[in-house]
Amino acid sequence: EVQLVESGGGLVQPGSSLKLSCVASGFTFSSYNMHWIRQAPKKGLEWIALIYYDSSNKYYADSVKGRFTISRDNSKNTLYLEMNSLRSEDTAMYYCAKFGTTGFDYWGQGVMVTVSS
Amino acid sequence: DVVMTQTPVSLSVSLGGQVSISCRSSQSLVHNNGNTYLSWYLQKPGQSPQLLIYKVSNRFSGISDRFSGSGSGTDFTLKISRVEPDDLGVYYCGQGTQYPPTFGGGTKLELK
Confidence grade of residue A35 (pLDDT, cut at 50, 70, 90): very high
Residue B74 burial class via C-beta count within 10 angstroms: exposed 0-12, middle 13-18, buried 19 and up: middle
SS3 category, B87 = helix
Beta-carbon separation of A102 and B54 below 8 A: yes
In this complex, which of A44, A95, A103 lies closest to B96 when CB atoms are compared? A103
Q: Give yes or no for B106 touching A (CB within 8 A).
A: yes
B54 interaction partners in chain A (CB closer than 8 Å) = 102-103, 105
Q: So what's the pLDDT on residue A102? A: 80
Q: Give yes or no for B46 touching A (CB within 8 A).
A: no
Residue A48 burial class via C-beta count within 10 angstroms: exposed 0-12, middle 13-18, buried 19 and up: buried
Q: So what's the pLDDT on residue B84? A: 95
Collect the ranges in chain B with pLDDT lower than 50: none
pLDDT tens-digit series, residues A58-86: 999 999 999 999 999 999 999 999 999 99
Beta-carbon separation of A59 and B106 below 8 A: no
Nearest Cα residue to B93 out of B13, B20, B34? B20
Cα-based distances in Å from A117 to A3, A43, A81, A89: 34, 22, 22, 13
Q: So what's the pLDDT on residue A100? A: 81
SS3 category, B97 = coil
Percent of chain A with pLDDT over 90: 96
pLDDT at A90 over 90: yes
Cα separation, B14 vs A60, whole angstroms: 41
Q: So what's the pLDDT on residue A97? A: 97
A30's torsion region: left (phi>0), alpha (psi -120 to 50) or beta? alpha
pLDDT at A101 over 90: no
Cα separation, A97 vs B25, whole angstroms: 22
Beta strand pairing call for A10-12 and A34-39 = unpaired
Other beta carbons less than 10 A from residue B67's beta carbon:
18
Residues A62/A49, Cβ–Cβ less than 8 Å:
no
Report B:49-88 residues touching A (Cβ under 8 A). Answer: 49-51, 54-55, 58, 60
Q: So what's the pLDDT on residue B23? A: 98
Q: So what's the pLDDT on residue A109? A: 97
Beta-carbon separation of B103 and A110 below 8 A: no
